[in-house]
Every structure is written in structure tokens, then in C-alpha cells.
Amino acid sequence: MKRFFSNLNFTVGFVLSSVVVLLAAISLVWTPHEPNLMNADHRFESMSLSHPLGTDHFGRDMLSRVMVGAVKSIIVGLAAVAIGMSLGVLLGLASAYYGKLVDESIMRFADLLFGFPAVLTAILITSVLGPSLINAMLAIGIFYIPIFARLTRAVAMTIWGQEFIAAARASGISEWDITLRHILPNILSPLLIQGTIHFAMAILAEAGLSYLGLGTQPPYASWGRMLNEARTFILLAPWLSIIPGVAIAWAVLGFSLLGDGLRDTLDPKMVRVR
Amino acid sequence: MERIPQKIKSLHDSCPASVPTEAGLKNRKYVSNHIQGWWVTIHAFLERCDMRRYLVKKLLTLLILLFLVSIIVHSVLFILPGDPAHIMLGIDATPETLATLRAELGLDKSPWAQYTEWMGNLLTGRGSQSIHYQVPTHDLILPRLAVTGPLALLAMVLAVAISIPLGTYASCHQNRPGDVGVMFFTQLGLATPAFWLGILLILVFAVHWGVLPAGGFPGWSVDFWGSVKALLLPSFALGIIQASILTRVTRSSMLDVLREDYVRTARAKGLKERIVIYVHALRNALIPVLTILGLQLGQLIAGSIIIENVFFLPGLGRLVFLAVGMRDLPVVRDIVLFMAAAVVIINFIVDLAYGFLDPRIRLE
């Protein structure tokens, strides 16, 4: 543990992201106000004791909405990384193991998916299924498949070529067991690193999709959605346009620094010279 | 002789040396030089063949990719959902209107016939018909390129103009305050959504100072400078975020190159530091930067969809956003195809450029 905290990136990232996780966890049981409760008497209030971050155009408490938004962001991040990682790792392992035609077709398939940035995938899905948070997760997750597939393939290929694998083979362990016992554990730490970084990137992507109205639907709060609603009142209540953005940048910065810190400590080879 | 490759050496050995005299030995040396000269020519020819084979292979892959992209876009929108006419008209559609729309879209035909009709129309330049606007989709897409194109280009130019000097500076002052400051800001830039930066820029430049417009677009022929001004803030928002990625890539690539032997040689030769950095190091350091630049351009196209909606710019992104809202599936299909094709083609060009710059790639 001490090894991790001697790294500045990790420490700062850990502190920033814990705040987000903590706020999200608290909001599950308690928020200062009901996040979707409209109150016409308290519209566009600036910061006060009862509303620490002010209120929006429906008189809803901003702090409560930011807290609830954190939950949305974390769920989207986890789901997108889970989708991308599970399918990507499977494809990457298959690609590295079978090689040749399988490898070539999987990698071309990855190229193909890579041609559809998350926004385009979201637009495709949304025009057929209608906008929802699940579709946003799906869109980001699909975009992540080629990223994790390439990463897994690259790492798995170098491991397959190493001597201890040859030794394992010679001692009669089945290839399936080699994959499970030797290849997978070696891929874990790069996966953890990339998973954390792409978790952060998913929060960023979800904010963009929600801003377009392709993610979380009203009246539910999500950071991107709040920015979208605040755009109309930019002259009247500029803080409504600032607070959710700060939350996004905070969370993304926190989790990506955490990922960088993990990389620095878990994979010293990858850090060339800092 | 010592450094001639094995192949030439064996060629040389198999050459009949007529008389083993001193003159013959001289002659032998001549022969070997001669062959080496030939070898260079042959090698250059082979290399050109490599390049051509590489090109053909890449081009074929590109065509197959484009074909698959079009199949996916078409089937996701028109074949998988079952009845797209139903999606477009919503729940309160009467059977008659449904039937009319189905006929108009050609949904009564087989999936393959639908696809070939769409592709045929696309390739012959007829295009497909928008349901909402009742004009061919290319009449909607092409004029809007005049907004999205300059926006993306301006953002890219800005990103390059900021990131290359900044990344170079940071790499030359590694771990000193200047470098740490640059790295701090790029880290911040990586975490900031471009569209939120756009909103912040609106707050500062449009609301607070009132020097630049908060949104809208007058049109190039109506008001040229007004149009440039309208594109400034959005391209800044996109460009600064792109620049933070590029700065980091430039910096780490420069750090790698500055450690190379030839850079030390150049310094040892007594060249001015500026020449070493900008002529010797930077040129090589730019190769990985170019790859990332290509990937970023694809992301930029996607990013412009959101930023155009922040600034209400009448570009492709705004069009596709409105088309999704109105469920104008032919427009959505054609724009998504266009954008995905743009991403694929840009990556293809970058791949090629990479192959030209780094011969090791195309021999794989």
C-alpha cells in the first residue's frame, strides 16, 4: 500500500476519486434535498446554507443533483468498462492464441468497431431504440471492445512467446489451463490500469452523450444532462453551467490520475522516464 | 568487403575469377563493387514492389472495411428494428401512412435489395431522400460540410500550433517547473469535456466581455468575418482539448528521441542546441505524433457533433442531432456512414503515411 501512496499521481487521484465515490454512496441513503423535487419559489437561487450549490430553473437543489449524478456516472463507467473488457479480453485472447485467420479477422473487426466513435454508435442505437442511459452505456462499451481486444492481444502474444510458457507446455499442462493460469494473471495488471483510465473516459463520454440528450432522460439528474438544461439559462444563472462541469472534470481527473498512478507502480516497464 | 551482406558475399564467391593473379584480385574487388551497385538497384526495385504490395493490400482492406461499415449502418437502422416505418412515425401512425412510408423507403423489398438500391443510388450520385426535408440527403450534407469542415480543420491547426512547441518545450525542460506546469494543464485538459470548455468560453468571451458570438452562424457568403468569428470559440474549445493529448505525445516522443545516440552525436559535433532539437530530434519525434493526430481527427469529427450543438452551428453534427430527434432515418444513415467512412479513411491515410515514413512497417 505504501508503494502506491508514495506515487503522487496515485495519491491525488485516490483522494479526488474517493470524494466522488463517497458522495455517490451517501446519495444512495441521504441527499440534502429530494433531487427531483421542484420548488417554484426557490428558482435560480445562488449559494446559501440550505442550498450550498444553489438551485436550478425548477428550484431543484444542485448539490443533491450533483450527488445523484455521481451515481449515474459511476454506473455508466462500470457498465461500459465491463462490456468492453469482457468481450475485448475474450477476443484478444482468441486472437493471440489462434493467430492467422482468426487473428486477422478479429483485428479487422476491431478496426471496424473503431470506426464508430461512441457518439456515432449512440446515434445509431438511439435512432432505433430511443434514448436511454442503458443505450449510452452500450454505445461506450461497444467502442471499448477493440481497445481492450488490442491490449489483451498484444500482452498475451508476448507472454505466449516466453520461456515459462514453453516449460508449462512441456510439462503437459493443457493450453486452456495455460491460458487461465499463466496468461490471464499476467494480463490483469494492464487490464486494471486501462480499465481505470477508460472508466474515467466513459464518464467523459457519458457527459457528452447526456448533453446531446442521448443518455439519462429527464427528470433524472446526470452531469451532462444538467449542463444541457443550464445552457438555456447561461445569462441568468451562469453557476448552473459551471458546477456540473467542475464535477465532471473532478471525477475524470481523479480516476485517470488513479489509473496513471496504478501504471507507475504496477508496471514500471511502461513508465519510461518521467 | 566486411560489411557486405551475406547474400552478396555468396554471389561474389560464386563469380568466376578468371585468373588468380594480383590483377585478378583487383578485378574481383571490382566485380564485387559492381554487383553491389546492381544489388542496390535491385533492392530499390524490390522495395518499390513492397510499397506497391503494401498499398494494394491496404487499399483492399480499406474497401472491405468501407463495405462492412455501410452494411452495419444500413442493417442497424433499417433491417434489425423490423419495421423502421413504425419507428419513424411513432405509435399513432395509421396503417395507410405506414404503408405509404414503407413504399417510399422501399421497405417492401428484400434486405439485400434495399441495401443495393441505397448503394446504387449513392454511387450514381442520386442519393437517398430525406423524409422530413423531402430533398436528397446529399443536398443536406454537402452545404453543412462548409461549417463542420472548417471547424474541424481550425481546431486541428490550433491543436498542432499549441502542442508541438509546448511539447518540445516541456521535453527540453523535463521535471523543471515549466514542464511540470505544462503537464499539469494537459492533465486538466484531458479531464475537461470539450463542450463544457465551450460553455466556459461562452461565459467569458460572449457573456462577460461580449467580444465573440455565443452561438449561431451567419453563413460564409453573408458575412465572412462574422462566420470566422462564430467558429473561433468552438474550434478553440475543441482544439485546446486536442492539444493537451498531442502535447503529451510530443513530449514523450521527444524524450525518447533526445536519448538516441545520433542526438548525442549531433551535440558532440558542436551543433547549436536549437538545431539539434528542431532539425534532428523533432523531425523523428513527429512520427508517433502523426499517428495520434490521425486518430484524434476521427475523434474530432465525433466531438464536433456535441460542440455544434453547444454553439448552435448548422453543421453535420447539428443536422444528425436534429435528424435523430425527428427520426429521419435516411439522413441519420447517410451522415453516420459519411462520418464513419471519414474516420476509416483518415486512419487509412495515416497508416500509409506511417508506412512511407517508417519502412519497417510495410515489411511486416
Report the pLDDT averaged over residues A178-194.
Answer: 87
Within 8 A of B310 by CB-CB distance, chain A residues are 211, 231
Within 8 A of B202 by CB-CB distance, chain A residues are 234
CB contact under 8 A, A227 and B192: no
Give the B window 77-116 contacts with A, CB below 8 Å: 77, 80-81, 84, 87
Q: Of A243, A246, A220, give the one whose Cα is nearest residue A233.
A: A243
Rounded distance, CA A62 to CA A55, Å?
5
Phi, psi of B136 (to 5 degrees): -60, 145
Q: Rounded to a whole number, what is the distance in angstroms from the first to the last CA of chain B?
A: 29
CB contact under 8 A, A128 and B188: no
pLDDT tens sequence across B229-244: 999 999 999 999 999 9
Within 8 A of B82 by CB-CB distance, chain A residues are none
In a domain, A62, yes or no: yes
8 A C-beta contact, residue A60 and residue A38: yes
In a domain, A153, yes or no: yes
Tell whether the model's pLDDT for residue A236 goes beyond 80.
yes
Q: Write down the H helix ranges in chain A.
A: 2-5, 8-29, 62-98, 100-114, 118-129, 133-160, 163-170, 175-178, 184-211, 223-231, 238-266
In a domain, A18, yes or no: yes
Any idea what DSSP says for residue A40? G
The more confidently predicted of residues A155 and B43 is A155
A2 close contact with B: CB closer than 8 A: no
Mean pLDDT, chain B, rounded, equals 81
B212 close contact with A: CB closer than 8 A: no
Pick the residue from chain B with its C-alpha nearest to A230. Answer: B199
CB contact under 8 A, B202 and A252: no
Rounded distance, CA A254 to CA A13, Å?
4
In a domain, A32, yes or no: no
A107 close contact with B: CB closer than 8 A: no
B196 close contact with A: CB closer than 8 A: yes
CB contact under 8 A, B175 and A274: yes
Chain A interface disruption, residue of B199, B316, B334, B351, most A CBs within 10 A = B199
CB contact under 8 A, A118 and B302: yes
Q: What pLDDT, on the 0 to 100 scale, is given for residue B10?
A: 43
ipTM over 0.90 threshold: no
Q: What pLDDT, on the 0 to 100 scale, is given for residue A31?
A: 83
A274 close contact with B: CB closer than 8 A: yes
Query: Which of A19-28, A44-53, A106-115 has the least mean pLDDT?
Result: A44-53
Residues spanned by the domain of A22: 9-26+53-268
Pick the residue from chain A with its C-alpha nearest to B204. Answer: A238
The more confidently predicted of residues A34 and A67 is A67
Pick the residue from chain A with its C-alpha nearest to B328. Answer: A127
Rounded distance, CA B303 to CA B171, Å?
28
Mean pLDDT, chain A, rounded, equals 86
A270 close contact with B: CB closer than 8 A: no
Pick the residue from chain B with its C-alpha nearest to A200. Answer: B191
Within 8 A of B69 by CB-CB distance, chain A residues are 112, 115-116
Any idea what DSSP says for residue A47? S
Cβ-Cβ contacts under 8 Å for B346 (sequence gap 6 or more): B294, B297, B298
pLDDT tens sequence across A209-223: 999 888 888 778 889
Q: Kindly report the number of other CB atoms within 10 A of residue A7's CB atom.
A: 18
| Closest partner CB to A124 (pick from B77, B175, B191) | B77
What is the CATH number for A148? 1.10.3720.10
Report the pLDDT averaged over residues B194-222.
Answer: 89
Query: Which of A25-29, A123-127, B18-22, B360-364 has the least mean pLDDT?
Result: B18-22
Report the pLDDT averaged over residues A111-136.
Answer: 84
- Structural domains of chain A, count: 1
8 A C-beta contact, residue A117 and residue B299: yes
In a domain, A46, yes or no: no
Report the pLDDT averaged over residues B270-298.
Answer: 82
In a domain, A2, yes or no: no
Distance of CA B210 to the CA centre of its chain: 34
pLDDT tens sequence across A37-56: 777 777 777 777 777 787 88
Report the pLDDT averaged over residues B297-310.
Answer: 85
Within 8 A of B325 by CB-CB distance, chain A residues are 213
Longest dimension (CA), chain A: 77
Rounded distance, CA B171 to CA B165, Å?
10
| Closest partner CB to A241 (pick from B76, B199, B341) | B199
